[in-house]
């Protein structure tokens, strides 16, 4: 069963590398925002798999606040993107 976790960690690492490439090359701010959101999810998943592999409950507990911080960061990026160039807020009506 350990090999499944090892394979998952490898695949998550590859996914993180591809997500970093997407952040670097863009081309739009929307692509970068989605890639950063994906990268935070991959990081949390990586921590959870690593904690399961080494049976470390403290690491598993640390993933929960990181998920909350990532959700707040995603909302903040969404608000930043929703602003118009002249500073007005968009209305969603």
Digit-coded pLDDT (tens) for 34-65: 899 999 999 999 999 999 999 988 888 888 89
Residue 63 domain-assigned?
Answer: yes
Alpha helices in 55-82 (DSSP H): 57-82
Q: What does the alpha-carbon distance between residue 76 and residue 78 come to, in Å, rounded to a whole number?
A: 5
CATH number at residue 53: 1.10.287
Digit-coded pLDDT (tens) for 61-87: 888 899 999 999 888 888 887 776 665
Cα torsion through 8, 11, 12, 18, rounded to 10: -170
Residue 8 domain-assigned?
Answer: yes
Residue 89 domain-assigned?
Answer: no
Residue 91 domain-assigned?
Answer: no
Number of domains in the chain: 1
Check residue 87 and give its pLDDT: 58
What range defines the domain where residue 45 resides? 2-82
């Amino acid at each position: 069963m350990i090999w499944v976790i090892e394979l998952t960690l490898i695949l998550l690492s590859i996914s993180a590398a591809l997500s970093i490439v997407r952040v670097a090359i863009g081309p739009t701010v929307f692509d970068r925002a989605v890639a950063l959101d994906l990268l935070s999810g991959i990081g949390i998943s990586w921590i959870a798999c690593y904690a399961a592999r080494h049976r470390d409950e403290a690491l598993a507990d640390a993933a929960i606040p990181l998920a909350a911080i990532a959700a707040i960061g995603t909302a903040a990026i969404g608000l930043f993107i929703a602003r118009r160039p002249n500073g007005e807020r968009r209305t969603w009506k």
